[in-house]
């Protein structure tokens, strides 16, 4: 692409030359990403053909949503692609946090224990789990007499299999694994990490339900958690599997009996998966899933490029440009609050929607620190579209994710460097 196209956004010749260097350095990562995309794209296509997906049923249903054939076909496709017995894919699930919370409340009962074996979960789940410091009854798991413990990962980010083996208790009913790094500084988990965790749990004799928070991880590798033996996984349609087209929604996939149990919590006992109208969104959900492998690859190539450019400019990134990835999040450690603010403001300024808005840190519900978020997205909060955010706490990391097209990610990173400057510290 010519320099003139970027010059229109105020990019200097020197920065463009540095960007070209970063692009060259990241190309081996691009090749690996494209290979995974090919495998995933063909698996999705085959699943759609196997399910007999028909245009006739994409209009959807209203009211109760009984006999929604299009919804049933989409759920069969999700189950097939994710290596599951069954799936529940619903527009009524508005976030990944809601999907995961539904699983926990659907599976756990008073006296049971939830055990997280990948360290602390994502910030928005803290209120779901509950804590001793909570002053009010918000209906958390703790409020219902469900206890919680966690096992940390090793310093290198790999699972501590010995600690897992010895840490499973008599009352451990659900074991939670978070594939993505979330707002932590660890690496993401890989599919073989999940496979090793599952094997360790089963070898210990535990029959606890193994559940994976799969947010940000779908289609990054060529296998999903249920392929590795997980009983259940869940995520959001405004992240990877929605392909940038789904306007809302979430999914739960895994063992059929467990999906049904969660469905009874989401709707009502006895109703389960039978109700839930698709309200005309079947077409966007299905087409978004079809596009997802391609869109995830665009995001991953943007992340690899971002790591390459920002390292050239003196910033520490995680993962490195050519490192293997288990999610599509790119972390950049900016060390100073003003840099984090500048980075997010540059991403917002490079957005097709609300590019004129200037984001500032604020007290966002569900987070313990102020958070700054940049998301000029067509769908509110859609982190498969380019966004960047971070908590206002040291080392002031920016978590960049998504990108429907690589070119926008490239532009945003150049604008961020131009706004922050090269790191001289």
Q: Does the pLDDT of residue 1 top 70, yes or no?
A: no
Count of domains in the chain?
2
Phi and psi angles of residue 387, each rounded to the nearest 5 degrees, phi first: -150, 160
Average pLDDT over residues 320-329: 96
Pairwise CA distance, residues 235 & 223, whole Å: 15
The confidence score (pLDDT) of residue 138 equals 83
| Amino acid 131: pLDDT | 79
Do 58 and 29 share a structural domain? no
Q: What is the pLDDT of residue 199?
A: 98
Residue (of 329, 309, 305) closest to 420 by Cα position: 309
**β-sheet bridge partners, residue 398:** 332
Phi-psi region of 10 (alpha: psi -120 to 50; beta: other; left: phi over 0): left
- Whether 21 and 50 share a structural domain: no
Does one domain contain both 308 and 335? Answer: yes
From 251, 271, 289, the end of a domain falls on 289
Does residue 202 lie within any of the structural domains?
yes
The helix/strand count (H/E) of the chain reads as 11, 12
Specify whether 25 is located in the same domain as 61: no
Q: What is the rounded CA–CA span in Å between residue 76 and residue 259?
A: 13
Residue 180 · residue 213 · CB < 8 Å:
yes
> Burial, 235: exposed, middle or buried (Cβ in 10 Å; 0-12, 13-18, 19+)?
buried
Give the model's pLDDT for residue 63: 97
411 in the same domain as 354: yes
14 falls within a domain: yes
| Percent of the chain clearing pLDDT 90 (strictly above) | 91
Confidence of residue 42 (pLDDT cuts 50, 70, 90): very high
Tell me the CA end-to-end span of the chain in Å, nearest whole number.
32
150-180, pLDDT tens digit by residue?
A: 999 999 999 999 999 999 999 999 999 999 9
Residue after which a domain boundary falls, among 259, 289, 319:
289
Residue ranges of E strands in 313-419: 316-318, 330-333, 371-374, 387-391, 397-401
Please check whether residue 31 lies inside any domain of the structure.
yes
Q: Is there a single domain that holds both residue 186 and residue 332?
A: no
Q: What is the DSSP string of 2-71?
A: -HHHHHTTT--HHHHHHHHHHHHHHHHHHHHHHHHHHHHHHHHHHHHHHHT--GGGTT---TT-TT-HHH
Q: What is the CATH number of the domain that holds 312?
A: 3.90.1150.60
Decide: residue 110, CB within 10 A, 0-12 exposed, 13-18 middle, 19+ buried. exposed
Render pLDDT for 15-29 as a digit per residue (tens, 0 to 9).
999 999 999 999 999
User: Which of 315, 348, 339 is closest to 420 using CA atoms?
Assistant: 339
For 47, the token pair is 């699943």
Q: Bin 149: left if φ > 0, else alpha if -120 < ψ < 50, else beta.
A: beta
> Final residue of a domain: which of 269, 289, 309?
289
Does some domain include residue 401?
A: yes
Write the pLDDT tens digit of every residue in 203-219: 999 999 999 999 999 99
* Beta carbons of 337 and 396 less than 8 angstroms apart: yes
Question: pLDDT (tens digit, 9 = 90+) per residue, 234-288?
Answer: 999 999 999 999 999 999 999 999 999 999 999 999 999 999 999 999 999 999 9
Give a yes or no: residue 425 inside a domain: no
| Continuous H helices in 52-160 | 69-81, 96-107, 126-129
- Same domain for 172 and 110: yes
β-sheet bridge partners, residue 200: none
Residue 7's domain spans which residues?
Answer: 3-35+294-420
The Cα–Cα gap between 171 and 325 comes to 34
Quick one: which of 351, 83, 326, 43 has its CA closest to 224?
83
pLDDT at residue 400 is higher than 60: yes
The mean per-residue pLDDT over the stretch 35-49 comes to 98
């Amino acid at each position: 692409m010519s320099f003139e196209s970027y010059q229109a956004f105020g990019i200097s010749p020197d920065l463009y030359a540095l960007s070209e260097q970063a692009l060259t350095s990241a190309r081996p990562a691009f090749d690996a990403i494209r290979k995974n995309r090919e495998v995933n794209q063909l698996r999705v296509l085959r699943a759609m053909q196997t399910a007999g997906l028909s245009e006739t049923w994409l209009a959807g249903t209203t009211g109760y949503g009984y006999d929604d054939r299009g919804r049933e076909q989409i759920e069969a496709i999700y189950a097939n692609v994710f290596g599951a017995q069954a799936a529940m894919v619903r527009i009524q699930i508005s976030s990944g946090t809601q999907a995961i919370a539904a699983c926990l409340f659907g599976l756990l009962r008073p006296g049971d224990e939830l055990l997280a074996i990948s360290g602390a979960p994502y910030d928005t789940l803290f209120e779901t789990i509950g804590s001793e410091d909570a002053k009010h009854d918000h209906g958390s798991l703790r409020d219902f007499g469900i206890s919680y413990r966690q096992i940390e990962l090793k310093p290198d980010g790999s699972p501590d299999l010995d600690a897992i083996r010895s840490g499973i208790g008599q009352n451990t009913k659900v074991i939670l694994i978070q594939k993505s790094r979330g707002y932590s500084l660890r690496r993401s988990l890989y599919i073989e990490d999940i496979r090793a965790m599952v094997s360790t749990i089963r070898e210990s004799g535990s029959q606890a339900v193994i559940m994976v928070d799969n947010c940000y991880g779908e289609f990054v590798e060529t296998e999903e958690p249920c392929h590795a033996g997980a009983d259940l996984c869940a995520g959001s349609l405004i992240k990877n599997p929605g392909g940038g087209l789904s306007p809302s929604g979430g999914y739960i996939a895994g063992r059929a009996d467990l999906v049904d149990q969660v469905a009874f919590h989401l709707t009502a006992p006895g109703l389960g998966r039978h109700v839930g109208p698709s309200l005309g969104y079947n077409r966007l959900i299905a087409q978004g899933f079809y596009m997802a492998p391609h869109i995830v690859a665009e995001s991953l190539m943007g992340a690899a490029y971002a790591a390459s450019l920002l390292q050239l400019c003196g910033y520490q990134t995680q993962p490195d440009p050519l490192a293997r990835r288990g999610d599509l999040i790119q972390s950049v450690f900016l060390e100073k609050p003003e840099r984090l603010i500048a980075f997010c403001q540059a991403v917002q300024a490079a957005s097709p929607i609300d590019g004129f808005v200037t984001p500032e840190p604020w007290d966002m519900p569900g987070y313990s620190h102020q958070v700054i978020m940049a998301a000029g997205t067509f769908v509110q909060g859609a982190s498969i579209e380019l966004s960047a955010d971070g908590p206002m706490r040291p080392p002031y990391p920016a978590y960049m994710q998504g990108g429907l097209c690589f070119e926008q990610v490239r532009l945003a990173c150049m604008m961020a460097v131009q706004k922050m400057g090269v790191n001289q510290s």
